């Protein structure tokens, strides 16, 4: 098993290019199952999650080639069920269910796996499929959906923590080949949903309203192949911006989308970080002492839960008290105990973490519990004195393309080592 070894205390300087969005790539890859014709997807990040999804599509019968950031997927003949050993590895794999149901009118998919950050039920996905006329059964760890035909319907997909991103994507994909009109109320508004709708429309779908709480899908008889370039990864861009601030450096983040990052950039500026927008690029630096800020995670366009851990790492460096409240997932503070190993002073009270910042961090061995916790520990290690070893680096490889290489280009003293 590999680890990242970080010798901290070096300001990050230079330029870093942002990869395509992982959270857009996975459902768009799944959407290629809706047509027997070839689909070409550009700016695809080379991540373990992307490779897992490619394996799933291969297992279903699709031909998948991946070279130099471009995926070619051709799903001439496919089967309607997903293998447990593949699907269990990541939650995003559940998004194959909508395309299989849409094209074949049947789908049998293992309940998905992924990061251990709290319950993420798929009941809203199933509610949407049932509204389209599918019969749903769950048995032996598998979800089975079948329908003689899918018929458009009006549905509400809001849940306890707001809208469901993957649920919106799943139902939207199935509805493209349903008869009539489907209206999704309380739809997710994330940029990744907009990107999926753009790809589906390029395939011949008729989708309006993506990016708003109401999405309308007028079903068509068939979809065709299409070519598409993914949006940049707003979570990766936020992570590098926070790393620049944490190390008191200056980093130009190339190819980002500031319009997808308003909540994060607003909190960084409130914390005393300079963010200069220059076309598609962001120049991030820190002028003087960090200031504590309060953060509450919310569905888009609120502060993203996927940046909560990284922001907490930054707030450990800001003198004063910050309160970080998690409203999306109930178990997403597993990084707190590991940050404490580096010297952070954090207390958990219900859904909030009270961060008493300003104490210097010192390097230590730490254990990553999930993808974004890994990024937070890397940021803390970059800012800490001495050496930090981040174990279970496979988590970070799920969502960050070549993170150690990109950080080295910015001057970080970081290397990947094989555990003995």
Q: What is the mean pLDDT of each run of 10 residues along the chain (420 residues)?
A: 96 98 97 98 96 93 97 94 67 87 93 48 91 93 92 94 91 98 98 98 98 98 98 98 98 97 98 96 94 97 97 98 92 92 97 96 95 96 98 94 98 91
- Nearest-5° Cα angle at 330, 325 to 335: 75
Entry pTM: 0.95
HSE-CB at 127 with a 13 A cutoff on CA atoms is: 16
Predicted local distance difference test score (pLDDT) of residue 114: 43
Q: Report yes or no: 370 and 397 within 8 Å, Cβ to Cβ.
A: no
Question: Model confidence over 230-268: pLDDT tens digits?
Answer: 999 999 999 999 999 999 999 999 999 999 999 999 999
Predicted local distance difference test score (pLDDT) of residue 330: 75
- As a residue count, the chain comes to 420
Q: Which CATH architecture has domain 22-219?
A: Alpha-beta prism (3.65)
- How far CA 416 is from CA of 1, 6, 10, 15, 342, in Å, comes to 10, 9, 17, 21, 20
Query: Residue 59 class from Cβ within 10 Å (0-12 exposed, 13-18 middle, 19+ buried)?
Result: middle
Pinpoint the residues of the chain covered by CATH 3.65.10.10.
2-18+233-418, 22-219
Task: For residues 302 and 332, give the distance between their C-alpha atoms in angstroms, rounded to a whole number.
Answer: 17
Contacts of 161 (CB under 8 A, 6+ apart): 299, 327, 328, 329
- Nearest-5° Cα angle at 306, 390 to 287: 80
What are the residue numbers of the active site? 115
Dihedral angle sign, alpha carbons of residues 262, 268, 272, 276:
negative
Helix axes of 165-175 and 22-31: crossing angle, nearest 10 degrees: 20
- Residue given tokens 């989708």 in the structure block: 207
Enter the tokens of residue 139. 């048995």
Enter the tokens of residue 162. 């707001």
Task: For residues 252 and 244, give the distance between their C-alpha atoms in angstroms, rounded to a whole number.
Answer: 9
Cross-strand bridge partners of residue 155: 184
Predicted local distance difference test score (pLDDT) of residue 116: 40
12 sits in the region (left: phi over 0; alpha: psi -120 to 50; else beta) called beta
- Whether domain 2-18+233-418 has CATH 3.65.10.10: yes
Order of strands across the sheet with 320-325?
295-296, 320-325, 352-357, 346-349
Instruction: Report the relative pairing of strands 250-254 and 281-286 from DSSP bridges.
Output: antiparallel
CA 360 to centroid of chain Cα atoms: 30
Task: For residues 84 and 124, give the distance between their C-alpha atoms in angstroms, rounded to a whole number.
Answer: 21
HSE-CB at 195 with a 13 A cutoff on CA atoms is: 28
Predicted local distance difference test score (pLDDT) of residue 91: 67
């Amino acid at each position: 098993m590999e680890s990242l070894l970080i010798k901290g205390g070096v300001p990050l300087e230079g330029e870093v290019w942002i990869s395509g969005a992982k959270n857009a790539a996975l459902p768009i890859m799944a959407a290629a199952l809706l047509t027997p014709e070839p689909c070409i997807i550009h700016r695809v990040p080379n991540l373990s999650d992307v490779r897992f999804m490619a394996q799933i599509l291969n297992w279903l019968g699709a031909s998948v080639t991946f070279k130099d950031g471009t995926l070619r997927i051709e799903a001439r003949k496919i089967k309607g069920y997903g293998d447990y050993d593949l699907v269990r590895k990541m939650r995003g794999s559940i998004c194959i269910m909508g395309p299989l149901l849409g094209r074949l009118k049947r789908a049998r998919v293992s309940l998905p796996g992924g990061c251990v950050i709290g319950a993420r039920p798929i009941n809203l996905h199933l509610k949407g499929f049932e509204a389209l006329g599918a019969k749903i059964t769950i048995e032996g760890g598998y979800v089975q959906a079948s329908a003689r035909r899918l018929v458009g319907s009006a549905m509400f997909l809001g849940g306890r923590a707001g809208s469901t991103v993957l649920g919106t994507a799943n139902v939207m994909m199935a509805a493209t080949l349903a008869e009539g009109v489907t209206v999704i109320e309380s739809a997710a508004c994330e940029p990744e949903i907009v990107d999926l709708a753009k790809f589906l429309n390029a395939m011949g779908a008729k989708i309006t309203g993506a990016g708003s709480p109401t999405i309308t899908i007028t079903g068509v008889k068939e979809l065709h192949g299409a070519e598409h370039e993914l949006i940049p990864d707003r979570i990766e861009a936020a992570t590098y911006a926070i790393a620049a601030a944490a190390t008191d450096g200056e980093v130009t983040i190339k190819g980002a989308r500031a319009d997808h990052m308003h909540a994060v950039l607003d909190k960084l500026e409130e914390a005393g970080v300079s963010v200069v927008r220059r076309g598609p690029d962001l120049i991030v630096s820190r002028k003087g002492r960090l200031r504590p800020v309060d953060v509450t995670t919310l569905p888009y366009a609120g502060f993203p839960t996927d940046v909560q851990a990284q922001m907490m790492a930054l707030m450990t460096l800001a003198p004063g008290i910050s309160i970080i409240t998690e409203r999306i997932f109930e178990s997403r503070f597993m990084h707190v105990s590991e940050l404490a190993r580096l010297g952070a002073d954090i207390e958990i009270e219900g859904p909030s973490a009270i961060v008493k910042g300003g104490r210097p961090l010192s390097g230590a061995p730490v254990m990553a519990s999930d993808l974004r916790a890994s990024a937070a520990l890397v940021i803390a290690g970059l800012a800490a004195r001495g050496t930090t070893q981040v174990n279970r680096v496979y988590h970070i490889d799920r969502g960050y393309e070549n993170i150690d290489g990109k950080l080295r280009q910015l001057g970080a003293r970081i290397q990947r080592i094989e555990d003995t």
